[in-house]
Amino acid sequence: MIIGIDLGTTNSLAAYFNGDRPEIIPNRLGKKLTPSVVSVDEEGNVYVGETARERMSLYPETVAQNFKRSMGTEREYLLSGRKFKPEELSSLVLRALKEDAEAFLGEPVTEAVISVPAYFDDRRRKATRRAGELAGLKVERMISEPTAAAVAYGLYDKTRDTRFLVFDLGGGTFDVSILELYHNILEVRAVAGDNYLGGEDFTEIMAKLFMHKSGLQLQDLNEKEQIRLYRQAEKAKCAISDETEVTMSFLYKEETKEETITYREYEEGCEELLQKIREPVKKSLADAGLKLGDIDDVLLIGGATRLSIVRDFLIRLFRKFPDTKMNPDETVALGAAVQAAMKERREEVKEVILTDVCAFTLGTEIVVEYGEGRLESGRFCPIIERNTVIPASRTERLYTAMDNQDKVRIRVLQGESRFARNNLYLGEIDVKVPKAPKGQEAVDVTYTYDINSLLEVEVKVVSTGTIEKMVIKGEDNQMTDDEIKKRMEELSYLKTQPRDYEENRLVLLRAERTYEETLGERRKKLDHYITAFEAALDKGDHDGILKAREALNDILEEENE
């Protein structure tokens, strides 16, 4: 079975193709969204999702979140004395989704189509692939999130040609993609974005406004208090809308602080973020050679597009109401499931040709000659420019820069800077050339880039016909199959919590967190129900546990309203 997975910054989810349509796979708690949060305790027990998120308030040193923002970097997270790379934490989320899918479907899940932000560079895409492998999944295909969303919207079933913009604002990343549908071809025309912009940034603005009004400083709060503050800021962010105000409360050192924040104040605080959103929109339109009026539809995906402040801004920007007919949290996973069904050659799925673009320019380092024979090294020569439809092949002829030069080194780079040092290094290849005066020997450098992010580099010496080739998979620190297997074994010490235990543990964690956040009679009442639930767990009576858990849940719902 091949499933589709949306590995998100804030939440992740999986989907499969059921008969004639894609469906979300519920997790072990019966919910569609699994928070992308991981916790590891001192005994090596691993918690993923909502349980891990609840542990953050009580044991912040054991929890990691937002690690998707660091995919493809060397950053490490320390959880209970153990170090994890971002792709290793992502693999634990993927493993949980895989296990939940197997339990729901009743069959092994061995392969997945995983979505990635369109603006992920090669290193981040390969880190995502490694995460899948560490989770025990074969990941032959990754699909960009906007393309997956377009497939899920069913736009390829429309009878008319359509040009549309997909606006994807998730918890931690932002993508803008312009796509065009004609006949059964779905072509990506341009992509732009920001890997460090998302809904979490809008939460931070709300938290800062509250602290400014209440006279608090972030350094005044301990780690637990900071987490509680941001939880309340998240609620306030989601509640505020145009022409309204929101009252945010926060328990600080046995005192409840309350402040009212108006929509206008929040809008002013978010002005810089909204300008950051505007720039990729302008860039994608310019790269596609289009104007706003050329766009037929605007599609919203990503949970942060639910925010009133974002939707109000988009209506003003595009001068039209965006298409909101599908759940923005689920759209990408559903599209990935459709792509998985296409990969399985399912008859129920109408075949659509998906074309993508190269999100970043691919080129090489060269020496540039200025007047009077002055040479400047370290310059970047584009070969396949960003937003070129792929698969694509481009050739650039380069000449020797020095007398009697006997070798040409092609350093393969990805990025947009004029200077080679500022772009991402992918690999290099050397070819020998006959010695001659500078400029008399040449090489033809051909880059061929396909939809699976594989780059073939061919260097042909013009005078001799000698050819050297290499395929670059885009990993600075590429792990071999043996290294992946070894790391999977190293991660096997982590003990996944039993499915029937997790729901009880989650309720207790919520109760402990809520107890810390309440005072007086409410705290005494909550303590009574916690004690009753713990007593039922000690007895091991199934019916008694269910009854006590339901009673405790009712109290928690009252306290968290």
Task: Kindly state the DSSP code that residue 323 receives in the 8-state scheme.
Answer: B
Q: What is the dihedral of CA 25, 513, 216, 308, to 10 degrees?
A: 30
Within 10 angstroms of residue 322's Cβ, the number of other Cβ atoms is 16
Say whether 224 is catalytic: no
Asked if residue 454 lies in contact with residue 473, where contact means CB atoms within 8 angstroms, the answer is yes
Contact 55, 64 (CB under 8 A): no
Residue 88 annotated in active site: no
Identify the H or E element spanning 533.
helix 520-539
Alpha carbon distance 488, 134 (integer Å): 6
Q: Given 50, 168, 201, 330, which residue is catalytic?
A: 168
CA distance 506 to 29: 10
**493 token code pair:** 């010490």
In b/e form, how buried is each residue of 521-560, taking b as 16+ CB within 10 angstroms? eeeeebeebbebbeebbeeeeeeebeebbeebbebbeebe
> Do 119 and 173 meet the contact criterion of CB atoms below 8 Å apart?
yes
Three-state SS at 135: coil
* CA–CA gap between residue 512 and residue 526 (Å, rounded): 9
* Cα–Cα distance, 50 to 404 (Å, whole number): 65
Contact criterion met (CB below 8 Å) for 559 and 518: yes
Beta-carbon count within 10 A of 325 CB: 9
What tokens were used for 70? Answer: 């660091």
Among residues 145, 175, 200, 297, which one is catalytic?
Answer: 145
**How is residue 469 written in tokens?**
């080739």
Catalytic residue, candidates 50, 54, 68, 297:
68
Distance CA 346, CA 219 (A): 56
Known active-site residue 145: yes
Q: Residue 347 is inside which H or E element, if any?
A: none
**Quick check: is 168 catalytic?**
yes
Alpha-carbon distance of 525 to 502, in angstroms, equals 24
**Separation between Cα atoms, residue 27 and residue 285, nearest integer Å:** 39
Residue matched to tokens 């005044």:
220
The burial of 351, by beta-carbon neighbours within 10 Å (0-12 exposed, 13-18 middle, 19 or more buried), is given as: exposed
Would you give the DSSP letter of residue 419?
Answer: B
Interstrand relation of 45-48 and 495-496 (parallel, antiparallel or unpaired): parallel
Q: Tell me which residues are annotated as active site.
A: 6, 68, 145, 168
